[in-house]
């Protein structure tokens, strides 16, 4: 009951910490680059505002409506990703990941993360029996994951693609796809992953730099080394908020993907553990909501959103601490990045929505079929849900 409010407060707290850290880590850079030290702070605040508005929208939206619109949302996000390949897309550092959106840039792959979660939750939620089947359950859902990931992979945005695929994979696991299918999948993906790395020299370099960043501290290992130096400089209690020196052009992407290094430098071990602690509390509350929800769609939706946020956070911190090879993944709520913040806040809104709906008695499970208590759900949503199911059965 109160857990969704706790979740909201934790999210607020993390976002505020994020805004603070964005200002701290980007101020000097922004002053230099745009002659406005508040450049990133302003944008982050506007996105946070948009994000919290979106959160309240996601909190209020009818879950049944959401389930029935799942395919549309998915199609829309596919379209948006497709647009990045056209003239509307912006090329940054050789990758087309962004769409121009008025004064803001928007990353459609962020949208896709949760579109896939909603789609899979809707699919498995509507037809509980599918999950166990090979074709309808495993192969079809795998197909959905692959078609959502492929365009992102070719942007190229390997990190996000891996993360989305990982989140989708966990959803299949939770939805009830047989473990032997999933095991076989892992075994077959590994060689593909190997070639995906070996065929791109920059990825090989990244892996090499990951294994021993000190070997080439000014070249490939540069960012990792600088991240280590920042984290190490923090020590137990940190150098103090705003006092980071590593953010002064030593550490690249200090306000985006590597913001946690600056956080660790300024706030120390105490600060970084408290931040991770906040994420753990977030994890526990969000999973608690999912676990309490017996309604399949609600459960899968809450769990899926939680996976996505947790995987991002863990991967990000693992990257900056040199625990896994570097990938460009932002830290949810904290890194600068408008569309990422907005989508993560929407995800929190959806998790809270599930909690609310559960409390209001809208989501109840009885037997094999979902008991529908809301009439509109049956009337309006049904045809689309039906079509989705039909599509799956083909």
Partner 1 sequence: MSLKKRNFMSFRTFLVMMGIIVLWGGLIYRLLFLQIQSAPVLVKKAEKQQEAVLKVYPQRGKILDRNGNIFAVSMKVKSAFCVPSEVDELWRTAGKLARILDMPKSRLIHKLTRKSHFSWIKRKLTDEETSRIENEGMRGIYLVDEVKRFYPKASLLSHVVGFVNIDNEGLAGLEKSLDHFLRGKTGSATIIHDAKGRELYAKRDFIEKPEDGLDVYLTVDEVIQHIVEEELDKVYETYQAKGAVAIVVDVTNGDILAMANCPTFDLNLPGEFSADKRRNRALVDCYEPGSLFKIVIGAAALNENLISMNDLIDCEKGAYRIGGHTLHDSHPYDVLPFVSVIAKSSNIGCAKVASMMSRETFYHYIRQFGFGQTIGLPLEGELRGKVRNYQRWSGYSQTAMAMGQEIMVTPLQMVFAFATIANKGKKPVGRLIDRIVGPQNQLIRKNEIREGKSIVSPRTAMKLTQALKLVVSKSGTAYEARVEGYSVAGKTGTAQKVENGTYSHSKFLASFIGFVPADHPVLAIGVMVDEPKGKVYYGGQVAAPGFSVMAERILSYLKIPPEENADENLKQLEKRYAA
Binding residues vs partner 1 (CB under 8 A): 28, 35, 128, 170, 173-176, 228-236, 245-246, 248-250, 264, 268-269, 272-273, 276, 279-280, 283-284, 287, 290-291, 294, 296, 299, 303, 307, 310, 314, 317-318, 321-323, 365-368
Name which of 104 and 269 has its Cβ closer to partner 1.
Answer: 269
In angstroms, give the least distance from the CB of 249 to partner 1: 4
Sequential DSSP letters for 57-124: HHHHS-HHHHHHTHHHHHHHHHHHHHHHTSTTEEEETTEEEEEEETTEEE-HHHHHHHHHHHHHHHHH
In angstroms, what CA-CA distances link 155 with 9, 89, 150, 192? Answer: 35, 10, 9, 18
In angstroms, give the least distance from the CB of 296 to partner 1: 7
Q: Check residue 240 and give left, alpha or beta (phi > 0: left; psi -120 to 50: alpha).
A: left
CB 177 within 8 A of CB 137: yes
Name which of 113 and 233 has its Cβ closer to partner 1.
Answer: 233
Name which of 66 and 285 has its Cβ closer to partner 1.
Answer: 285
Round to whole Å and give the CA distance between 122 and 391. 13
Name which of 277 and 383 has its Cβ closer to partner 1.
Answer: 277
| Three-state SS letters, 307-367 | HHHHHHHHHHHHHHCCCCCCCCCCCCCCCCCHHHHHHHHHHHHHHHHHHHHHHCCCEEEEC
Name which of 81 and 254 has its Cβ closer to partner 1.
Answer: 254
Round to whole Å and give the CA distance between 57 and 32. 37
In angstroms, give the least distance from the CB of 272 to partner 1: 5
Structure-block tokens of residue 222:
């540069």
In angstroms, give the least distance from the CB of 154 to partner 1: 29
In angstroms, give the least distance from the CB of 388 to partner 1: 20
In angstroms, give the least distance from the CB of 121 to partner 1: 12
Name which of 61 and 229 has its Cβ closer to partner 1.
Answer: 229
Round to whole Å and give the CA distance between 12 and 3. 14
Name which of 235 and 383 has its Cβ closer to partner 1.
Answer: 235
How are strands ordered across the β-sheet holding 104-106? 89-92, 95-101, 104-106
Name which of 111 and 297 has its Cβ closer to partner 1.
Answer: 297
Among candidate residues 296, 313, 383, 387, the one with its CA nearest the CA of residue 347: 313
Name which of 148 and 272 has its Cβ closer to partner 1.
Answer: 272
Structure-block tokens of residue 293:
């929800």
In angstroms, give the least distance from the CB of 101 to partner 1: 25
In angstroms, give the least distance from the CB of 220 to partner 1: 17
Is the C-alpha dihedral spanning 312, 314, 320, 322 positive or negative? negative
Half-sphere exposure at residue 206, Cβ-oriented, CA atoms within 13 angstroms: 17
Using the structure block, give the residue that is written with the tokens 């625990």: 323
Round to whole Å and give the CA distance between 214 and 329. 22
In angstroms, give the least distance from the CB of 213 to partner 1: 12
């Amino acid at each position: 009951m109160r857990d969704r409010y706790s979740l909201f407060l934790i999210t607020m707290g993390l976002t505020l910490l994020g805004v603070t850290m964005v200002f701290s880590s980007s101020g000097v850079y922004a002053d230099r680059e745009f002659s406005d030290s508040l450049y990133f702070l302003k944008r982050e605040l506007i996105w946070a505002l948009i994000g919290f508005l979106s959160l309240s929208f996601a909190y209020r939206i009818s879950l049944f409506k959401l389930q029935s619109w799942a395919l549309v949302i998915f199609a829309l996000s596919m379209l948006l990703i497709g647009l990045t390949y056209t003239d509307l897309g912006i090329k940054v550092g050789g990758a087309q990941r962004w769409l121009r959106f008025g004064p803001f840039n928007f990353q459609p792959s962020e949208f896709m993360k949760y579109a896939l979660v909603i789609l899979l939750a809707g699919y498995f939620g509507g037809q509980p029996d599918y999950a166990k089947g090979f074709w309808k359950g495993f192969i079809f859902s795998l197909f959905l994951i692959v078609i959502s990931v492929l365009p992102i992979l070719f942007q190229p945005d390997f990190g996000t693609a891996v993360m989305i695929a990982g989140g989708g994979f966990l959803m299949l696991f939770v939805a009830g796809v047989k473990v032997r299918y999933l095991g076989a999948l892992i075994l077959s993906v590994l060689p593909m992953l190997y070639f995906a790395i070996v065929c791109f020299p920059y990825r090989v370099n990244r892996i090499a730099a990951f294994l021993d960043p000190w070997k080439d501290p000014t070249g490939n290992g540069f960012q990792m080394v600088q991240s280590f130096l920042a984290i190490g400089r923090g020590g137990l209690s940190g150098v103090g908020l705003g006092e980071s020196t590593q953010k002064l052009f030593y550490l690249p992407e200090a306000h985006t993907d590597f913001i946690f290094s600056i956080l660790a430098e300024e706030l120390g071990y105490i600060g970084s553990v408290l931040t991770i602690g906040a994420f753990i509390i977030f994890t526990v509350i969000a999973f608690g909501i999912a676990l309490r929800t017996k309604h399949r769609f609600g459960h899968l939706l809450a769990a899926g959103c939680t996976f996505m946020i947790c995987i991002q956070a863990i991967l990000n911190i693992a990257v900056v601490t040199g625990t896994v090879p570097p990938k460009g993944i932002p830290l949810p709520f904290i890194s600068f990045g408008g569309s990422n913040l907005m989508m993560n806040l929407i995800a929190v809104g959806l998790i809270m929505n599930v909690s609310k709906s559960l409390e209001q008695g809208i989501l109840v499970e009885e037997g094999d079929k979902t008991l529908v208590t809301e009439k509109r759900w049956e009337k309006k949503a049904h045809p689309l849900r039906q079509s989705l199911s039909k599509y799956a059965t083909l």
